[in-house]
Amino acid sequence: MISVAVQLDSRSYPIHIGAGLLADSALVARTVAARQVLVVTNDVVAPLYLEALCAGLADREVAVCVLPDGEQHKTLVSFERIVDCLVEHEFHRDCCVVALGGGVVGDVAGFAAASYQRGVGLVQVPTTLLAQVDSSVGGKTAVNHSLAKNMIGAFYQPQAVIADTATLATLPPRELAAGLAEVVKYGLIADADLFAWLEEHIGSLLGREPRALELAIKRSCEIKAAIVAEDEREHGNRALLNFGHTFGHALEVLGRYERWLHGEAVAIGMVMAANASAALGRLDGGQRARIEMLVCNAGLPVRARGVAPDDMLEHMRMDKKVAKSQLRLVLLERIGAGYLAPAPEPALLRRAIADQLEA
């Protein structure tokens, strides 16, 4: 087991990474200290991993809330189901919510934990690559609005993260690739060596080679932990973690949260952001081409069909990085160096988007 620390003074917590961690009942029991535990999961993950998790909680008062799978269920309705379960079982302020699943489960369960009795314990147990490298770490919790992604939520850190890499064996290939989009993002914004390593080892990652996956998860968590420790509530550099996301979130809304997985939309968005960076003269053409090639080689889309640039721009104006009515974007100086800046002039931005759209 490898552990990475998120350093937040008295609220610091570990990210445990390794194969078979869910089967380690002692680790689960040690990590989840509360006597009352609500496990939130979904109808895909529950049959696979709920029993193993609960074996480590055998001496606790445990309730389970099973949500339907999918981004379209990351809503206030699901949030209410979790809170209803906490109330119905008379869970107290010293209880703990354990989020067993991917990013949707982690985000909505985290938001419920942040809200119930003004905040109860939270442990993240991510079972997808995207959740293990990104959404389970850093304390962003939310549900979607029909017109804007992650518009309702709170910053709320977990007490710990248990990332069992063995769960990736049951992940559908499309979801594995979607998680790789976030790993690519870390290389682009902060670590050129990671990006080069991904270019060399993308086949091993797609083939689920355990050591390659462990290294990718560890390095991704190290980068995110360092950024979150510096800027927990996104007043500065934490915005870099949203590279490609402003474009991607607009695609998700336009696709009604069903057409593209989050990582797929982000992948297209990263290429759009690279286009804008190149058009501004920051990113050279060779590096822009490397970015698109790696995204393709990861099994991810680089173009979207049936989307209008003006519709994209309209939804991007709802992005949470808008400040004083000014849209800001995360762009690239070069591979490994992201920066936050006001969006380029409309014609340039429209072209950066249009180049990745198909009729």
Active-site residue (options: 16, 149, 249, 315)? 249
245 as an active site residue: the answer is: yes
Active-site residue (options: 242, 252, 275, 328)? 242
242 as an active site residue: the answer is: yes
Active-site residue (options: 262, 288, 320, 328)? 262
259 as an active site residue: the answer is: no
Active-site residue (options: 90, 118, 235, 324)? 118
Which of 258, 106, 270 lies closest to 188 in space, CA to CA? 270
**C-alpha torsion sign, points 204, 269, 278, 328:** negative
317 as an active site residue: the answer is: no
Burial of 214 by CB count in 10 Å (0-12 exposed, 13-18 middle, 19+ buried)? middle
Active-site residue (options: 71, 182, 252, 264)? 182
Residue 35 is given by DSSP the state S
Active-site residue (options: 224, 315, 320, 328)? 224
Kindly provide the residue ranges of all beta strands, DSSP E only, lying in the chain, ordered along the sequence.
Answer: 2-6, 13-18, 36-42, 61-67, 96-101, 121-126, 140-145, 148-155, 160-164, 304-305, 328-334, 337-342, 357-358
**Percent helix / strand / coil, the chain, rounded to 5:** 50, 20, 25
Active-site residue (options: 74, 81, 238, 288)? 238
How many other C-beta atoms lie within 10 A of the C-beta of residue 184? 28
Tokens of 112: 């419920």
Is residue 131 within 8 Å of residue 222, measured between CB atoms? no
User: Which residues does residue 234 pair with via DSSP β-bridges, in sequence order?
Assistant: none
What's CA 35's distance to the chain center, in Å?
Answer: 29
249 as an active site residue: the answer is: yes
145 as an active site residue: the answer is: no
Active-site residue (options: 71, 234, 252, 264)? 234
Active-site residue (options: 74, 81, 140, 185)? 140
218 as an active site residue: the answer is: no
CA pair distance 99, 41, nearest whole angstrom? 6
297 as an active site residue: the answer is: no
73 as an active site residue: the answer is: no
262 as an active site residue: the answer is: yes
Work out whether strand 148-155 and strand 160-164 pair parallel, antiparallel, or are unpaired.
unpaired
Is residue 318 within 8 Å of residue 147, measured between CB atoms? yes
Distances (CA, A) of 163 to 23, 99, 247, 326: 12, 11, 28, 37
Q: Mind telling me the catalytic residues?
A: 118, 140, 182, 224, 234, 238, 242, 245, 249, 262
